[in-house]
């Protein structure tokens, strides 16, 4: 097999040269031409001129570096036939061309338009590989001059282009250098022979679409241009050309093996003479003295490249894991016969083993959970051009929210990302830039079985592995995404296993075939996980995508992890996905919103609307409410209270780190207010072990009628790995009492009943409740003559559809409930007495659903109004109910909201693990969750009471019997209801001059298995069954 794979690689490297000599087909439509004159791929490193600069490892400080980022002359045309001719010649006049920044995506700067689609190819409904459009296939031509440093005389000079999408030609000083296609990985060319002293010209011509675009059919914005850094670097003729540092743990994972395979190349036409390659390894903390020094002589012949191996065992190294990212600095120097350093470089490496053994993924011999997310490279302003600051922000948010793994969906990321993940501790599944989803998966159609696309499959795989092979954060290679399965993936899998057997390889479309070491399905349901786990397996199940978090989603996430943590061969997964892929855009009047598919280009532009907005953070990285749930479920400490002793038990669920450096803080709250608290430092509790402590409650006396909770938090003592001091990494709430009744139900005389033509009026003191005689609804709730209501208290069965609701056809399936509350008939309206107090009973009939509702109103002597409701569904076959409750509108001035219930973030019946019962306050205008497209939002579960007041403290307090759910927005349920998913932005909403309040008995969950069919789990649905509930409205006055 090895010889076969090597033959494939030789074909891959040579095919373009054999074919391009005699061809009429453009290179950008010829899958056999992947590149021309490109350098072989190699590991990420930079060639410095000294050891000191190598240890500093900032290429910008090196004399061997010249950045070509910045302003280029630029000409954009719509089709290849219109591209300028001879523009690459030094004498060409580009004065009329635009100035354009590199790196940048064209479409975000007015050149063409971004297109968002998920599965199809954006340029055609009928793909015919390798053909791409000629009538509309934009081409960008670039020109820029640079000055060659005098010190680069006699050196070899290379140009590095970090990511060009999708294909390009390059010229230097008017001479054609080469061609390359395939984005998301660097292309390097040796341009030495094309250079002259002083000023030089480099020119590029970039094509939006090429045959390579057939392998870049990913679920993200289809945009183009130069997306990463461009620079020149110089090396001596004899230099280190590549190295592969193997650093597994050995001897029962206690010692480390340092094994370096390096290549030294001689690009001169003379024998190199004697050189020495020295490797020095420095401790993670102390860079003053190396813990290892190895060296070997090398003398490559003219034009040749020699291989060197250096090897030594390191006793008890500090291992690398995502929890303990210990990095050693490897310094390589190449010295000539006189002892002069001709080249030096350094990288940071980690001693780490990743393997599948016994049906589990092991890191350093221990089974790990991948608590992961899928992350596209996305910037709300700059598209696919990602700054280091944004990378660090992403990692910081991930670390602070207990996310330990990222799948680089669906392409290799920028090189700096890997260095940062090494440094701060993130496990990576590194994915090849291969997706041909638009071709489908049928064996006869998928490009996975097209021989002419084998060179491209191999090229993208080889370049990824060679670039990223030295990063300890990369624990798994991925062959690609949604590209079918066939012979090409068998070849790429086999090549990786031959080249690097130190990491597992995964590929979702291989399913349970032998060509994936991990079973990594997408969107498996809980019963699928259990079915797999209940049989002996040789491979772990780690979902490459799950918990589709589109809009108001990520429900039943805790349920997933209850199953995962109960079955050893289930080891986590990667949430789809990290960030909403929205671009900042403004309305005509200057209001900002996040654009999605269909917001650019002509009206008939292909689009999958807001299906690009599936993140647990917004495009600006502000957290969505679901992120709190993810943090809670992913937390690495378990909590319990021992019923006999009252002790709190903490279980260390980390795999590699103890609990030293952390504090346990606790508080006992009474009706949401702390009455006792304490903090203690945690000892070095080892992974899997427990620590117990008993909260000190000597000064605490429990009072009857109060509700008590014990809240426990584990916090950092000091800043570590982007996590600040005092940051809560894990938490739990324990109920210490039952839910009490928060209002008196005693009935006292004092309520007066009066009637006129329109109303039955209940009066008690300065409070009046008016029930309409024509509809049986509470039409007015007056205090001192002022009506506290803007509209009546009405039945409500509908919620604005979420993205998941649209996916499972809820607006169609449950449409019978949409207007059922508004379509009602008053069948009977009576006045009677209950416990000596008048009561008005309204019998309503809802013909849309053949259902009955009885509403009973009773005004207490203190002016509070009890509302009791009974619901009897029709006998016919009715679907589940989106919401069961009532709504009303209050004056806009009642914009201060305080509640005692779950919070602070919005929560739903299937997404409330992270929402503690507590006392919270906010403004109504903040209750609308800023999803990219409007939908149901702002709900809070298990509410005991809630107030809406103005600045003077006037308003209404609502009490549950004992609990209710609510939302309070400046928008109605109908305002938030779209007829089609992704047809609105928040800027399309008109803020109402009132507060729309939902008082819910129940609302169904939001779901989260996927957004294209999966229903809300049955236990989180509202079945059409008889129900009774109630609440109380109490006026608040000065």
Query: What are the CB-based long-range contacts (under 8 Å, 24+) for 250-254?
Result: 250/313, 252/365, 253/319, 253/353, 253/364, 253/365, 254/316
Give the CA count within 13 Å in the CB-facing half-sphere of 738: 5
Q: With the CA atoms of 530, 536, 542 and 546 taken in that order, what torsion angle do they form, in degrees rounded to the nearest 10?
A: -20
Count CB-CB contacts under 10 A for residue 848: 17
Given the structure tokens 């909770």, which residue do they identify? 709
Count CB-CB contacts under 10 A for residue 873: 19
Q: Which of 107, 216, 431, 482 is catalytic?
A: 482
Kind of pairing between the strands at 994-1003 and 955-969? antiparallel
Residue 166, preceding bond cis, omega within 30 degrees?
Answer: yes
Sheet holding 370-374, edge to edge: 505-506, 474-478, 427-431, 405-407, 370-374, 570-575, 541-546
SS3 686: coil
Measured distance CA(410)–CA(478) in Å, rounded: 9
Burial class for 92, CB neighbours closer than 10 Å (0-12, 13-18, 19+): middle
Cross-strand pairs, 637:
652
Q: Among candidates 732, 688, 735, which has minimal Cα distance to 714?
A: 732
Measured distance CA(849)–CA(370) in Å, rounded: 46
Residue 740, preceding bond cis, omega within 30 degrees?
Answer: no
Residue 962, preceding bond cis, omega within 30 degrees?
Answer: yes
Measured distance CA(782)–CA(763) in Å, rounded: 9
Residue 1030, preceding bond cis, omega within 30 degrees?
Answer: no
Q: Among candidates 200, 194, 153, which has minimal Cα distance to 175?
A: 194
Measured distance CA(827)–CA(775) in Å, rounded: 9
Q: Among candidates 105, 107, 118, 116, which has minimal Cα distance to 218?
A: 118
Kind of pairing between the strands at 474-478 and 427-431? parallel
CA angle 446, 138, 146 (to 5 degrees): 115
Q: Catalytic residue at 482?
A: yes
**CB distance 951 to 574 below 8 Å:** no
DSSP string for residues in 973-1010: TTTT--SSTT---GGG----SEEEEEEEEEE-----S-
Measured distance CA(174)–CA(194) in Å, rounded: 9
SS3 209: coil
Measured distance CA(408)–CA(604) in Å, rounded: 31
| Helix, strand, coil percentages in the chain from 3-state DSSP, rounded to 5 | 15, 40, 45
Cross-strand pairs, 354:
363
Residue 54 Rama label (left phi>0; alpha psi -120 to 50; beta): alpha
Q: Catalytic residue at 545?
A: yes
Count CB-CB contacts under 10 A for residue 81: 10
Kind of pairing between the strands at 474-478 and 505-506? parallel
CA 955 to mean position of chain CA atoms: 40
Measured distance CA(183)–CA(433) in Å, rounded: 8
Q: Which of 545, 629, 906, 936 is catalytic?
A: 545
Residue numbers annotated as active site: 482, 545
């Amino acid at each position: 097999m090895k010889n076969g794979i090597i033959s494939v690689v030789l074909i891959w490297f040579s095919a373009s040269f054999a074919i391009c000599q005699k061809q009429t087909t453009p290179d950008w439509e010829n899958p056999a031409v992947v590149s021309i004159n490109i350098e072989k791929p190699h590991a990420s490193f930079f060639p410095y001129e000294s050891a000191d600069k190598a240890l500093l490892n900032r290429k910008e400080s090196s004399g061997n570096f010249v950045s070509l980022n910045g302003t280029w002359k630029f000409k954009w045309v719509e089709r290849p036939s219109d591209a300028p001719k001879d523009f690459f010649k030094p004498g060409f006049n580009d004065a009329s061309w635009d100035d354009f920044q590199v790196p940048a995506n064209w479409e975000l700067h007015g050149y063409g338009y971004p297109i968002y689609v998920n599965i199809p190819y954006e340029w055609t409904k009928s793909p015919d590989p390798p053909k791409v459009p000629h009538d509309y296939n934009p081409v960008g031509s670039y020109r820029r001059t640079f000055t060659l440093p005098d010190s680069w005389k006699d050196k070899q000079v290379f140009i590095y282009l970090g990511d060009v999408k999708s294909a390009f030609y390059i010229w230097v000083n008017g001479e054609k250098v080469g061609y390359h296609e395939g984005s998301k990985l660097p292309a390097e060319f040796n341009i030495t022979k094309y250079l002259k002293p002083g000023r030089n010209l480099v020119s590029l011509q970039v094509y939006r679409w090429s045959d390579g675009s057939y392998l870049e059919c990913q679920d993200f914005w289809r945009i183009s241009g130069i997306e990463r850094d461009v620079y020149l670097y110089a090396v001596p003729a004899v230099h280190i050309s590549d190295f592969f540092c193997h650093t597994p743990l050995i001897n029962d994972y206690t010692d480390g093996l340092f094994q370096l395979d390096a290549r030294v190349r001689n690009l001169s036409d003379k024998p190199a003479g004697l050189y020495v390659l020295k490797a020095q390894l420095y401790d993670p903390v102390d860079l003053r003295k190396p813990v290892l020094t190895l060296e070997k002589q090398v003398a490559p012949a003219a034009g040749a490249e020699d291989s060197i191996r250096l090897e030594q065992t390191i006793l008890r190294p500090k291992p690398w894991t995502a929890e303990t990212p210990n990095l050693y600095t490897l310094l390589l120097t190449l010295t000539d016969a006189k002892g002069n350093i001709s080249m030096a470089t350094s990288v940071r490496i980690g001693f780490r083993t990743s393997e599948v053994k016994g049906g589990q993924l092991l890191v350093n011999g221990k089974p790990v959970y991948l608590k992961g997310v899928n992350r596209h490279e996305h910037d709300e302003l700059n598209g696919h051009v990602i700054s280091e600051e944004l990378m660090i922000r992403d990692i910081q948010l991930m670390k602070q929210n207990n996310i330990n793994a990222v799948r680089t969906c669906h392409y290799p990321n920028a090189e700096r990302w890997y260095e940062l993940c090494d440094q701060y501790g993130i496990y990576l599944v590194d994915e090849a830039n291969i997706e041909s989803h638009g071709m489908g998966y049928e064996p006869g159609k998928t490009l996975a079985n097209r021989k002419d696309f084998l060179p491209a499959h191999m090229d993208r795989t080889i370049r990824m592995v060679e670039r990223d092979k030295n990063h300890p954060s990369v624990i798994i290679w991925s062959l690609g995404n949604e590209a079918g399965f066939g012979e090409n993936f068998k070849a790429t899998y086999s090549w990786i296993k031959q080249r690097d057997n130190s990491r597992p390889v995964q590929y979702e479309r291989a399913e349970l075939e032998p060509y994936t070491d991990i079973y990594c399905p997408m969107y498996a349901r809980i019963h699928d996980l259990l079915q797999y786990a209940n049989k002996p397996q040789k491979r772990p199940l780690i979902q490459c995508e799950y918990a589709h978090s589109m809009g108001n989603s990520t429900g039943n996430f805790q349920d997933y992890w209850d199953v995962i943590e109960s079955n050893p061969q289930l080891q986590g997964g990667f949430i789809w996905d990290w960030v909403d892929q929205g671009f900042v855009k403004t309305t005509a009047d200057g209001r900002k919103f996040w654009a999605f598919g269909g917001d650019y280009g002509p009206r008939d532009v292909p689009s999958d609307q807001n299906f690009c907005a599936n993140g647990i953070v917004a495009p600006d990285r502000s957290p969505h409410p679901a992120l709190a749930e993810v943090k809670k479920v992913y937390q690495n400490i378990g909590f319990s209270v021992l019923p006999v002793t009252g002790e709190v038990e903490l279980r260390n669920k980390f795999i590699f780190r103890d609990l030293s450096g952390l504090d346990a803080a606790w508080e006992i709250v009474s009706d949401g207010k702390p009455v006792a608290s304490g903090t203690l430092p945690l000892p070095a509790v080892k992974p899997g072990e427990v620590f117990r402590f008993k909260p000190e409650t000597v000064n605490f006396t429990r009072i009857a009628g109060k509700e008590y909770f014990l809240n426990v938090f584990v916090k950092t003592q000091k800043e570590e790995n982007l996590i600040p001091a005092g940051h809560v990494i894990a938490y739990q709430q324990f109920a210490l009492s039952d839910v009490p009744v928060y209002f008196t139900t005693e009935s006292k005389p004092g309520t007066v009943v009066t009637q006129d033509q329109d109303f039955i009026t209940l009066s008690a003191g300065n409070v009046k409740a008016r029930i309409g005689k024509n509809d049986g609804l509470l039409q007015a709730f007056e205090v001192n003559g002022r009506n506290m209501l803007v509209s009546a208290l009405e039945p409500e069965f509908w919620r604005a559809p979420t993205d998941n609701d649209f996916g499972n056809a809820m607006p169609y399936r449950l449409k019978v409930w949409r207007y059922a509350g508004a379509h009602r008939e008053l069948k009977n309206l009576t006045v009677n007495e209950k416990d000596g107090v008048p009561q008005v009973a309204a019998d309503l009939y809802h013909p849309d659903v053949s259902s009955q509702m009885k509403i009973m109103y009773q005004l207490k002597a203190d002016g509070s109004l009890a509302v009791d409701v009974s619901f009897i569904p029709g006998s016919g076959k009715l679907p589940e109910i989106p919401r069961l409750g009532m709504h009303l509108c209050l004056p806009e001035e009642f914009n201060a909201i305080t509640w005692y219930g779950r919070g602070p973030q919005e929560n739903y019946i299937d997404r409330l693990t992270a929402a503690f019962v507590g006392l919270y306050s906010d403004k109504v205008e903040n209750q609308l969750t800023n999803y990219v497209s409007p939908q149901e939002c702002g709900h809070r579960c298990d509410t005991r009471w809630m107030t809406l007041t103005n600045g003077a403290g006037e308003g209404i307090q609502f009490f549950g019997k004992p609990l209710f759910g609510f939302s309070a927005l400046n928008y109605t349920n109908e305002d938030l209801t779209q007829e089609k998913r992704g047809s609105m932005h928040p800027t399309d909403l008109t803020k109402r001059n009132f507060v729309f309040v939902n008082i819910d008995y129940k609302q169904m969950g939001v779901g989260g298995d996927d957004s294209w069919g999966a229903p809300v789990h049955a236990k989180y649905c509202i079945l059409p069954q008889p129900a009774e509930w109630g609440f109380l409205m109490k006026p608040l006055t000065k």
